[in-house]
Amino acid sequence: MKMNHTETIGKMPVAKLSERTREMLSSAKELEAAGKFEEARTLLSPFWQRIGDRPKVDGLEEPIRAEVLLRVGTLSGWIGSASQIPGAQEIAKDLISESSAIFARLGQTEKVAEAGVDLGICYWRAGALEEARITFNDAIQRLGNLESEQRLRAILNKAIVEQVSARSKEALQMLSDAEPLFEKSSNHALRGKFHNEYATVLKNVGLAERREDYIDRSLMQFTAATLNLELAGHDRFLSVVENNISSVFAHLERFEEAHEHLDRALAIVAMLDDKGQRAQFEDTRARVYLRQGNFDQAETNARSAVKGFRAGDEQSNLAFALTTHATALARLARSSEAMASLNEAVEVARQAGDPETGGLASLTAIEELSSFLSPAELRTHYRSAKAALAHSQHPGTNFRLGECARLVLDTEENNAAAATPEPDPSKASLEEQVLSYEGELIKRALQASDGSVTRAARLLGVTHQGLAFILNGRQKNLLPSRKPAKPRRRSIIRFH
């Protein structure tokens, strides 16, 4: 009778079993690093069959037991993302955390850091960006200046979190500083991921600041990413690079090239049956169609992306796709549906611990639905966006915040004007009418700025000193609406 692989493993002597298991785990790790998740899972079948099953680790030596738990945990996260399996990231986090505890007990610092990086990736997928940031920081601190692949992984993934948290300048600095370290690495898959992320950050900063040199550098970095990933045979991540290049061409309004790169990306994930990346690329396609003005097709693709992400537990991606879908719906004049989608995006992002994505959804509500929402609703969305995006370093986001503040103010002014009867010239002089109108404008600017004279002045297009002069002079009745001025600190330096 033919024995299966599990039976063969089970009948091996302990010494040979340990040696064979180490080889198996090493090979599974290599397959996982190349994006061949199902092949890695099959290789680990003597210990584990499917996500949700407890791996068979009884009787294994502690180091091997920890490694099995780590490999099964990371694969659960990757396969769960690719197949959009609900609860997969929580399962992955539990297994990885268990392996980390064993490695810590054994004093294996580098393995603890490796587990930490994989744990942080699970947090990032679920949208818990602050937890991911803390976990990556811990791994970096553990390793110090050790020349370690795990240190490079921690730096790279920390930069990704900073980028998606709208802290592009921090991400750019991290990647620029780390570039010589990655260039020394012989791991082509890791180098390919680094070049892709570096290119993405350069692209985003370049587009926001209108820096053509950054766009050129980003395309060079994407080329380097492609070359390294081809050498590594990492088709799965090659599709990510194709998707990101498409985004560059879409912003440059080279739409034919944008769609060509997306076609290649989607062809790869269709072959791999990667539902998570397919949903991501459908969202990119929808955004390309939005820029082209093809709102019907944008809505179709965005709806497909939302459906794909709903099946899994990648909440940040779902919130982002909901925002894209809402934009398409709003431009098709389906305002109620658009608002429902944006409200869901804000709530999903909030529950995930991703305030930035929720803040962008609130900005989108103001931009796309200002004629549909009441002044009070617009103000609520603006305050939510301002609080959520307080730490954003993205110039484009800060510009959008300013434009939305003006839009809210204009809407409130128009609403007040419509509700206010025409002044009776016989009862008020021109000077009094001008003074009243000026006061109403300043009052609304202060309300929109939560009492900040500096921000109110910016909205009104005057200097801080100019607005302060008006408030202390002819509009003293508005002084209670401003925040108390902070006294300037005296210098500790004395000049004699």
What is the per-residue pLDDT across 334-365, written as a single tens digit (0 to 9) for each? 999 999 999 999 999 999 889 999 999 999 99
Q: Which of 20-24, 332-336, 430-434 has the highest mean pLDDT?
A: 332-336
Separation between Cα atoms, residue 50 and residue 42, nearest integer Å: 10
Spell out a b/e string for 246-262, using b for 16 or more CB atoms within 10 Å of the CB, else e.
Answer: bbbbbbeeebeebbebb
The confidence score (pLDDT) of residue 118 equals 97
| pLDDT confidence band for 430 (50 / 70 / 90) | low
The confidence score (pLDDT) of residue 467 equals 78
Separation between Cα atoms, residue 21 and residue 474, nearest integer Å: 83
| pLDDT confidence band for 10 (50 / 70 / 90) | very low
In this structure, are residues 113 and 143 in contact, taking their beta carbons and an 8 Å threshold?
Answer: yes
Kindly report the three-state secondary structure assignment for every residue of the chain. CCCCHHHHHHCCCHHHHHHHHHHHHHHHHHHHHCCCHHHHHHHCCCCCCCCCCCCCCCCCCHHHHHHHHHHHHHHHHHHHHHHCCCCHHHHHHHHHHHHHHHHHHCCCHHHHHHHHHHHHHHHHHHCCHHHHHHHHHHHHHHHCCCCCHHHHHHHHHHHHHHHHCCCHHHHHHHHHHHHHHHHCCCCHHHHHHHHHHHHHHHHHHHHHHCCHHHHHHHHHHHHHHHHHHHHHCCHHHHHHHHHHHHHHHHHCCCHHHHHHHHHHHHHHHHHHCCHHHHHHHHHHHHHHHHHHCCHHHHHHHHHHHHHHHHCCCCHHHHHHHHHHHHHHHHHCCCHHHHHHHHHHHHHHHHHHCCHHHHHHHHHHHHHHHCCCCCHHHHHHHHHHHHHHCCCCCCHHHHHHHHHHHHHHHHHHHHHHHHHCCCCCCCCCCHHHHHHHHHHHHHHHHHHHCCCCHHHHHHHHCCCHHHHHHHHHCCCHHHHHHCCCCCCCCCCCCCCC
- pLDDT per position as a tens digit, 141-182: 999 888 889 999 999 999 999 988 888 889 999 999 999 999
The confidence score (pLDDT) of residue 493 equals 33
The confidence score (pLDDT) of residue 359 equals 94
- Averaged confidence pLDDT in the chain: 87
Share above pLDDT 70 across residues of the chain, in percent, rounded to a whole number: 88
The confidence score (pLDDT) of residue 399 equals 84
The confidence score (pLDDT) of residue 441 equals 75
Share above pLDDT 90 across residues of the chain, in percent, rounded to a whole number: 65
The confidence score (pLDDT) of residue 451 equals 77
- pLDDT per position as a tens digit, 439-465: 777 777 777 667 777 777 766 667 777
